[in-house]
Structure 1
Amino acid sequence: MQANNRIETIRDGERKYHEACYDNYKLFEAGSWLHKPVKTVMETLKQFEEYGELTVLDLGCGVGRNSIPLAESIKSRSGVMVCVDLLESALSKLKSYSSEHGVSDYIETALSDIGNYEIAANQYDYIVAVSALEHVASEQQLVQVLGRMVHGTKANGINCIIMSTNIEEIEMDSGIQLEPLMELNMTTGKAEELLACAYKGWKVLYTTVKPLQFNIERNGSSVILKSDCWIMVLNLRCLAWISCEGKKDVRPE
């Protein structure tokens, strides 16, 4: 299968899966992964308790699982929560949920593939990418996205990345190993290498790798989905950051 056709096929399947989930499960109600925000995202938010203004970017926001609780923290001060997603249906529901939860004045949405989304330099205190970076089209595009995230972060800002690596799909009945339907399936070691390069000079606040396993359905068949859930929380504390290409980027305090 050609690369472009492969990406289109995978994204069509993802769209159907997510839209079915968004239609069948209400945000913050028990029964799905939409039940509550990601613990690491919310724990990291505590780093900004003393901020009177907070600017946040959520890449791959979906219907607001993390965006809405983050926007609620902005409501008590000032700032903006920018939410980016490829699915128009997800952003439509996000707007509805943000109104329902009283945070619509603090949320801005952007319909975009995160692989192509431009991030203004020194714009955000906090950038969140949960289960998003593995959905870019290529390793080269991942490097570009990481570079934009780095340059888009203010001095003393934080990036929170949660990414699936070492992804396997196994047909439950036959035990046959299937090709994982994920745009970017990297080994954990390779992902660590790329992020270490992109975030050279940053302070690692927290990192862990957790093995995950789920039962899912693929084309009417039961499939075991295995992966490493790799979490990294990084803090830009240095004034001078050196990129992988050796370019110096001086940040204001």
Structure 2
Amino acid sequence: MSRVEFIRNEEKKYHDFCYENYKLFEEGSWLYKPVKTVMDLLPLLEGKTNNIKVLDLGSGVGRNSIPIAQDIKTKNGKVLCVDLLDSALDKLELYSKEYGVEEVIETNKADIGNYVIPKNEFDFIVAVSTLEHVESEDVFENVIRQMALGTKNEGINCIIVNSEVEEMDIETNEKLDALMEVNITTENMMNKLSHIYDGWEVVKQLVKPLEYKIIRNERDVLLKTNAITFVVRKK
């Protein structure tokens, strides 16, 4: 098993556990509420009166895509949700019905590193904590280039991505191998984003050090990261 295969297997176990044991929009996990930055961007779409198209890369069970769908439902909007995990897409379809947006949500099972984004197709593309899970830096850059090309004029890309990730066993203080396929310096990540989106309007740019507890193979692990928020609009 390659390192990437090992990481993806561990991530699958972690996410399958979360999706099975925590309910969307209920307290107790990161599924409790959508990402504030994503929700804060929705008013920027209000000038687009009809047929709004949104792409959520690595959508999971709909933490962000379901509230987006609720917001654009009356504008004949569509949210295309791409994820690799069956557990995510199965739950997403159930939650879409529960929250009355099943006609707005479309699901697509795919590795976002291989997913082909149609050119000039979307008004809003969201990638939250997912781009660092493609298999290499080259794939990372290719996905972002496709996001840029797939965005309509005046469209928005919202990227939240981890950099300089560290993991530590909380009980033993042992430093662990960070299970992140693309784990590069914050400066390098920012340079890649700034280069690809050269000429776009920067709506929000923020680097925030974070640390939180996760569970890996029944061990409590402290994950530290510099979380980058990068929001741009196509001129």
TM bracket (short chain): over 0.9
SS class of match (2:2): helix
| TM-align CA RMSD | 1.1
SS in 2 for 1:90: helix
Alpha-carbon displacement from aligned partner over 1:134-189 (angstroms, at most 9, x marks no partner): 00000000011011000000001000000011100122233332210111111110
The total of aligned residue pairs comes to 234
Q: 1:119 aligns with which of 93, 103, 117?
A: 117
* Residue of 171, 174, 186 corresponding to 1:173: 171
Mapping for residues 4-153 of structure 1, pairs under 5 Å: 5-53=2-50, 54-153=52-151
Task: Select between 44-53 and 108-117 the one with higher mean Cα deviation.
Answer: 44-53
What TM-score do you get using the length of structure 1 for normalisation? Answer: 0.90
1:214, CA displacement in angstroms? 1.1
Q: Measured at CA, do residues 188 and 33 of structure 1 come closer, stay the same or move farther in structure 2, by a change above 3 Å? A: same
**What secondary structure sits across from 2:141 in the alignment?**
helix
Distance 1:124 1:221 in 2: 41
Tell me the TM-score normalised to structure 2 length: 0.97
179 and 161 in structure 1: CA distance in 2 versus 1, 3 angstrom threshold: same
Aligned match of 1:219:
217
- Matched residues in 2 for 1:32 and 1:220: separation? 16
Compare CA radii of gyration and give the structure with the larger one.
Answer: 1
What's the CA shift for 1:221?
A: 3.1
The one-letter amino acid paired with 1:103 is V
SS at match of 1:89: helix
Note the alpha carbon deviations across 1:15-54, whole angstroms, 9 max, x for none: 1111111111111111111111000000011101122121
Listed as ranges, the matches of 1:163-202 within 5 Å are 163-202=161-200
Question: Structure 1 residues 45-54 or 136-145, which shifts more?
Answer: 45-54
Partners of 1:100 and 1:219 in 2: CA distance: 31
Residues 95-122 of structure 1: per-residue CA shift (max 9 Å, x gap) = 1100111111111111000000000000
Q: CA deviation at 1:231?
A: 0.2
Secondary structure at 2:77 match in 1: strand
Read off the aligned partner of 1:108 and give its amino acid letter. Answer: E
Amino acid at match of 2:31: L
Counterpart CA distance in 2 for 1:209 and 1:187 is 12
Hey, what does 1:155 align to over in structure 2? 153
8 A Cα contact 2:133 2:182, kept in partner: yes
Determine the C-alpha separation between the residues in 1 that align with 2:62 and 2:83.
Answer: 10
Give 1:10 shift: 0.8
